[in-house]
Amino acid sequence: MMATIGSEWLAKSYNYKVVSKMDAHRSTYTESALRDATVVMAPERLGAMHQTRISFVRTLIRKMAQQQWKVTKHEWQLDPQGFGHVIYKLETPNHVYHLVVFCDEIADDERNDRVIAEKWDVTFALVLGDVDVALLERLRANVPLQEAGRNPNNVLVLARANKSVRVFEHIVSHLAKGVQPTPKELAEVGYILRTTAVYGNGKFGIADFKILEKNEDFNQSFSAQMCAVYMLREFSLDWVHYLAEQQGGEQAITLHRGLQRYLGVGNATGLGMAPYLINHPSIVDQWMTTREHALAEVLAHPTETALIEPLRALMSKAVSHLEQVVTINENQQQLNKAAVDELKHVEQSLEVSVSQCDTWAQLVEQSKHMSMEAQEILISCLMELYPELVDAHQEQMNCSETLSLSSGKKIQDLLVVLEEKYRWAITTDFTKAENNYWFWYRSQDKEEPRLGVRGEELGEERELP
């Protein structure tokens, strides 16, 4: 009954929609509240959201652990300078895969993260099945070319990466001398390698996502790409260890396990994310709707005093993360600082706040006065407390983009949909200068999408629709 009261109260106070459902696992009737689309899809809130248990990497890593996937070095053919190729073998309960990595020597002035780059420190491909001599030679001839090459359709992922030269050399030189690198130096960058492109879904001859729909390992969105990047991260650690041993011999040591776990993989730009969100509304809708359904189940749950300490621990971990974030964006620096202060205050008063709430929904309602960064971190922490509720949604992230229109619909029906669902687009007055401030265009030199200021920057005549 408490969950019902909480969701009704929240629906009235925060533009929530009540959704009834039967929980098959618990055999109890629950009412969940979905946040209104105008709340969820506000750009400021989208920018403040953090990962959850059903984020792509989390889902993949959980599957790898539960099914005991096995990654081993299959072939290591690098010269003393670290150039050559490496093959890793991935074994799952269903299939065998190989990650083929090519390491090439390039000049510093050739190390370019732009789309127009033609050389990279590392190029790699995730392959379904075995890699024989003939396939290896075909990959060697095409993978380093990236867009200019053509690969067979047993290649699931085609990608490339560049070194953070500063971190790479710092780690290798220290380990070769038998000394651990400076944690602060690593923390300022956070990675050894950064990807500059990770291709899937039929690009340049590789496997289309349609092929993966019946593949039990990678039938979820971006799972093959995330797996390839995860294995690249493992290679980056093996690579610096190998070079440290080449330079230092017997005195060389391995990187402290804590520092190994701290390092991730960098992402050079992510420019493609902006047009992707615009061009694939059905997919974005599926992702956000699935996330909101999982959240709604958590928020409808009665508060539990036994979960106060686990929640506090998660929030403390989030605070540590924000305090360690390095960004040159001054606005984001201020947002992170404000979120840290707010979350610390919530931590201190958590017992009192929870005691005043029947459901977690009411605790979220209490957080409305906080910044969106703090609100969304609290939401991610709450979702972490209920794996049995949240993880059940991980298989719902895919959707079909096939457009199916019912016959017999009238123009008036379309107008009603526009009025009810797309007021945000209709009410925008594009005759006002502030609503035409930015324009998208494609750089002729760099071949990248760019955001320009109308009337101030060149390129307006090349504006994208």
Closest CA to 195 of 101, 283, 64: 101
Q: Residue 144 in contact with residue 123, Cβ under 8 Å?
A: yes
Residue 448 host element (H or E): none
Identify the domain containing residue 294 by its residue range: 2-55+276-396
- Residue 360 covered by a domain: yes
Number of H helices, E strands in the chain: 20, 11
Strand partners, 181: none
Q: Per the domain annotation, does 61 fall within a domain?
A: no
In a domain, 190, yes or no: yes
Q: Tell me the per-residue pLDDT of 213-243, one tens digit each, with 9 for 90 and over.
A: 999 999 999 999 999 999 999 999 999 999 9
Question: pLDDT averaged over the chain?
Answer: 90
- Answer with the one of 270, 290, 316 that is the final residue of a domain: 270
Output DSSP code: residue 433: G
Span 390-395, average pLDDT: 96
Residue (of 141, 264, 126, 278) closest to 203 by Cα position: 126
Of 67-71, 206-210, 311-315, where does mean pLDDT reach its minimum? 206-210
Domain count, the chain: 3
Between residues 3 and 464, which one has the greater pLDDT?
464
Q: Is the pLDDT of residue 14 over 80?
A: no
Residue 45 and residue 39 in contact, taking contact as beta carbons nearer than 8 Å: yes
pLDDT exceeds cutoff 80 at 24: no
Mean per-residue pLDDT, 5-16: 38
249's enclosing H/E stretch is none
Closest among 274, 283, 307, 271 to 389, alpha carbons compared: 307
In the prediction, which pLDDT does 32 show? 60
239 and 357 share a domain?
Answer: no
Q: Are residues 430 and 368 in the same domain?
A: no
pLDDT score, position 445: 72
Between strands 191-199 and 264-267, the pairing is parallel
Domain shared by 116 and 221, yes or no: yes
Q: Is residue 63 part of a domain?
A: no
Alpha carbon distances (Å) from 349 to 303, 346, 353, 363: 15, 5, 6, 12
Nearest to 272 by CA among 329, 225, 233, 230: 225
342-364 tens-digit pLDDT:
999 999 999 999 999 999 999 99
The yes-or-no verdict on residue 43 having pLDDT over 80 is: yes
**Is the four-CA dihedral 374, 380, 383, 385 of positive or negative sign?**
negative
Task: Evaluate if residue 147 carries a pLDDT over 50.
Answer: yes
| 229 and 83 within one domain | yes
Determine, yes or no, domain membership for 295: yes
Start-to-end C-alpha separation, the chain: 51
pTM above 0.95, yes or no: no
Least confident of 318-322, 415-419, 442-446: 442-446
Same domain membership, residue 343 and residue 215: no
Q: Choose one of 235, 250, 270: the last residue of a domain.
A: 270
Residue that finishes a domain, picked among 214, 236, 270: 270
